[in-house]
Structure 1
Amino acid sequence: MKTTGTRRSLAWLLGIWAVTRVILLLFVFKVYVFPGPDVTSDVSVIYQGWYDVLRTGTFPLHDVTWQYPPAAALPILSPALVFWLDYPSAFFVLAFTADLVVLLLLLYAGLRPGRTLRGTWVWVAGVPLLGPTVYARYDVMVTGVAVAALLAGTRHPRVMGTLAAFGAMLKVWPVLLLLAARGRAAWGWAVLTAGALSAVFALTMPGAFAFLTFQRDRGTEVESLGALVFHVARQFGWDGQVLLNYGSVEFLGPYVDVVSTAALVLSGLAFGWLLLWRLRARRFEAHTLADAAFVGVLMFVTTSRVISPQYLVWLIGLAAVCLCFRDSRMRLPVALVLGASFVTVLEFPVWFAHVVASDTLGVTLLSLRNTLLVLATILAARTLWRSTVPRPAPLPVPAQPTRARETSLPS
């Protein structure tokens, strides 16, 4: 009976994955037009422009939209492997392939003893909630590396360290996968891998680390948590502007630098909390590695100056790994992230014009999405702390002195 139930669940999983992914491909190949701005233009214009520069042996030194670590050159150049297709088509096929690889990794993990297919369901159902943006950004490829790293972590720390470092050289955030890594193996191999890749890119391609300056100068993007300040302020006459700046739509004007600084402070406080947690944590279970990574990335996504829609792909991937473990307590935060993903596709691309205009619909959608992320972050952090940090022993209650019972002599 159990085998029959598992086969039925697998059939549903694979069937729903196939149907939803075909729909995503139909959208990115423009067989059907998805509502809102064309999300594939990043591939056909920006990525292809970087591709033309990168294949000459140098990074886009003078392009402020290049804000990625040096290994990001690899996914941008990867469509050359599918040489019989034009650049955008090849990229979409490779993004689809990365999605398939994540599915297979989660299936393999979920079918092992003590695991569950809930995590695979999170990936199957979560990715299409973001719409065609998933296949029009290279974040799904980075997420694949991160999922492989976390699933390898409990038994193969060296593999995990290598993959986490490679992921960090693709898009920085996978360094947070190492938050709960114990022992020296994972960290040691991560340092070696990052050092080797940095040296190779620095020696062979000019401008490998120009992205650091470009990233530093970013402002407050219109979809971020801090942007809500200006969405509301515009209703009361704030005279700033919404412009395409550093590759994203950002607020420019009075007090933007203050809000951007506040976001950096919040990220710093998040880092401080994670450091305190790591020093206090004592109970490490099989799922703790994934839970800690999920919490860390949630914190930095929520407090970031930029919350691009593709960032939710990272969270869905990490959430899926968490729920591969039966004992993970992250179910409610994962559900909130899935809810935030659905609202995300509504605010971008479907009704992005309303977000840019700061009208009632746009502000409502953005407030709802960011509230869900904040709630998910708080609940996930609370759950991680309670499951790993032992409670202090209660102070002993001082004994009450007993009064000697008075005896009276008979008169």
Structure 2
Amino acid sequence: MTMTYRISARHTAPALSAALALTAVWTLTRAGMLLLLWRDTLGIGGVGREVYVLYRHWYELLALGTFPPGDVTWQYPPAAGLVMLAPGAVPWLTYYQGFVALTLLADAVVTVALARAGGTGAWLWVGGLPLLLHLPLARYDVQVTALAVLALLAVRAGRPRLGGALAGVGALVKVWPVLTLVGTPRGPATRRAWTSAAVAAATLLAALVLVFTHTLGFLRQQGGRGVQIESLGGTALSVARLVGWPGTVEYRYGAFELTGPYVSSVAHLALLLTAAAFCWLLGWRLRSRRWTAATPLDAALSAVLLFTVTSRVISPQYMVWLLGLAAVCLTSRHTTQRPVALLLLPAAALSSLAYPVLYDDVIAVTPLGCGVVAARNVLLIAATAVSCRRLWAATVSKVPSYSVR
């Protein structure tokens, strides 16, 4: 018994030390993020305005039982309304304080879930999120990412129904979490996951349709989206503007977009690239033959990267999704995505440099602003290429180009 106790203590002490270190780093970094949000003067400033003005406005409408009617800035699936309503559940705080507190709670849930899963994923999340400064606390992407992370960890743990249900709910909050199911193993696991996702999404949607009016109004707002200045197409047009293209930057649909000649062509090209990304994923799924415990995690990161870089919109908070998915990948020793996770860290830092620090330069399309966004997008393209190549090599190629360990 004495020997058993010594062995147990020898294993418990390092685990406890690691947990305490992770908790300390989380506490210090989140305190710094809160301080930045409290001051909210960095760069262009006003990062929190979206919460205490726009989100609060939506909250007041949703509390009356209606989604924002005819509001071009409301472009989210209906379950996003539940996130907007959630701060009302903590009436002893202001709406703004309640939103930030719930965002921190979701952040903590992700950290604990990743830490329990093992690997270095929790450290990537805890250390990577502050690279986006205080932005994650003033958007609802941490909550969405929490659903995606928990969905993937459930699939990894052999609970496809739970993973599917979480992904289905996430899809009704911000669409992209459904991509967490793209790499589920063939057979019963895939059927259970996708069936559970469809049932959960349909049930939640039916409930929202019964309770609220204008539930599907967001669909009308998506079609008019143009080319956001921070997207890949926006970068190409910004470079063209530096050398004489006559386009301008306008605030439309809740974001700064480029307008002028050839913009519609660039937007259509982005849609074609998105379709091509879907075809690649379908081809990968049909041709893949080897699955490891990490394949569902790696495939989710590849899928979200593909749809991010081909989008007409790449808002800086999209990096929250990518950091969360990369962190999940690092919970498995079989992952192929370690180089991708490393590429995403400087991409996150450049995103926060572009917004809010140098956003005046970005929307003025100065060489500095354009260069920072272009560098971030080059890193995202590189991360996508590396991610897809390594996923393909590990699951499709007859002779993998490297050893998966």
TM-score (norm. length: structure 1)? 0.91
Q: Give the Cα separation in 2 of the matches to 1:39 and 1:122.
A: 24
- Structure 1: distance between partners of 2:176 and 2:294: 19
Alignment of 1:227-238 (within 5 A): 227-238=234-245
Q: Is the 8 A contact 1:181 1:187 kept in 2?
A: no
Q: Does 1:12 find its partner at 2:21?
A: yes
Does residue 1:146 correspond to 2:153, yes or no? no
Structure 2 counterpart of 1:373, from 363, 373, 380: 380
Partners in 2 of 1:163 and 1:281 — Cα distance? 25
Deviation at 1:220, TM superposition (A): 0.3
CA displacement, residues 222-241 of structure 1 (integer Å, 9 cap, x when unaligned):
10011112111212322222
Query: CA–CA distance in 1 between the matches of 2:399 and 2:305?
Result: 27
Name 1:136's counterpart in structure 2. 138
What SS does structure 2 have at the residue aligned with 1:239? coil
Give the partner amino acid of 2:261. P
* 1:337 counterpart residue number: 344
How far 1:3 moved relative to its partner?
4.2
Q: Which shifted more, 189-198 or 163-172?
A: 189-198
Q: 1:273 aligns with which of 280, 283, 297?
A: 280
Amino acid of the structure 1 residue aligned with 2:245 = W
1:259 match: 266
2:170 matched to 1:175?
Answer: no
1:85 aligns with 2:87: no
**What is the one-letter code of the residue matched to 2:358?**
W
Give distance in 2, aligned partners of 1:240 and 1:353. 17
Unaligned runs of 5+ in 2: 1-9, 401-405
Separation in 1, partners of 2:327, 2:385: 19
Letter in 1 for 2:68: P
**Residue 33 (structure 1) shift:** 3.5
Letter in 2 for 1:54: L
Give, in whole Å, the separation in 2 of the partners of 1:216 and 1:173. Answer: 17
* Other-structure match for 1:162: 165
How far 1:4 sits from its partner (Å)? 3.8
Mapped partners of 1:392, 1:329: distance in 2:
15
Deviations along 1:33-75, whole A, 9 cap, x unmatched?
Answer: 4333211010011101111111110110110100000100011
Q: Is the 8 A contact 1:51 1:77 kept in 2?
A: yes
- CA-CA distance at 1:194 after TM superposition: 1.2
Distance in 1 of aligned mates of 2:203 and 2:334: 37
Contact 1:27/1:132 (<8 A) preserved: yes
DSSP 3-state at the match of 2:79: helix
Deviation per residue, 1:189-238 (Å, 9 max, x gap): 11111111222222321211111121121000010011112111212322
Q: Distance in 1 between matches of 2:297 and 2:136?
A: 22
Aligned residue number for residue 125 of structure 2: 123
Alignment partner of 1:22 is 2:24:
no
Bigger Cα displacement from structure 2, 196-205 vs 57-66: 196-205
The separation in 1 between residues aligned to 2:268 and 2:62, in whole angstroms, is: 33
Separation (CA, whole Å) in 2 of partners of 1:330 and 1:150: 15
Name the counterpart of 1:69.
77
* Alignment partners' CA distance in 1, 2:279 and 2:153: 26
Query: Who wins on radius of gyration, i.e. which is larger?
Result: 1
Q: Are residue 313 (structure 1) and residue 320 (structure 2) matched?
A: yes
Decide whether the 8 Å contact of 1:151 with 1:321 is kept in 2. Answer: yes
Equivalent residue pairs, number: 386
Q: Which amino acid is the alignment partner of residue 127 of structure 2? A: A
Equivalent pair of 1:122/1:316 in contact (CA under 8 Å): yes
Q: In the aligned structure 1, how far is the partner of 2:138 from the partner of 2:103?
A: 8
Checking the alignment, whether the CA contact within 8 Å between 2:34 and 2:134 is kept in structure 1 is yes
Question: In 1, distance between residues paired with 2:177 and 2:25?
Answer: 28
Q: Who is 2:307 aligned against?
A: 300
Three-state SS of the structure 1 residue aligned to 2:53 is helix
Counterpart CA distance in 2 for 1:34 and 1:125 is: 20
In the alignment, structure 1 residue 209 sits paired with structure 2 residue 211: no
User: Mind listing any 5+ residue stretches in structure 1 that lack a counterpart?
Assistant: 111-115, 394-411
In the alignment, is the contact (CA less than 8 A) between 1:178 and 1:186 conserved in 2? Answer: yes
Among 91, 96, 108, the alignment partner of 1:100 is 108
Question: In the alignment, what sits opposite 2:6?
Answer: none
TM-aligned CA deviation for residue 392 of structure 1: 7.9
The separation in 1 between residues aligned to 2:145 and 2:361, in whole angstroms, is 30
Letter in 1 for 2:98: A
CA distance in 2, matches of 1:217, 1:33: 32
Question: TM-score, length-normalised on structure 2?
Answer: 0.93
**Alpha-carbon deviation of 1:339?**
1.2
Report deviation, 1:2.
5.1
Q: Does 1:222 align with 2:198?
A: no
In 2, distance between residues paired with 1:282 and 1:345? 39
Of residues 174-183 and 44-53 in structure 1, the stretch that sits farther from structure 2 once superposed is: 174-183
Give the SS at the match of 2:133: helix
Q: Deviation string for 1:309-329 (max 9, x for gaps)? A: 110000000000000001112
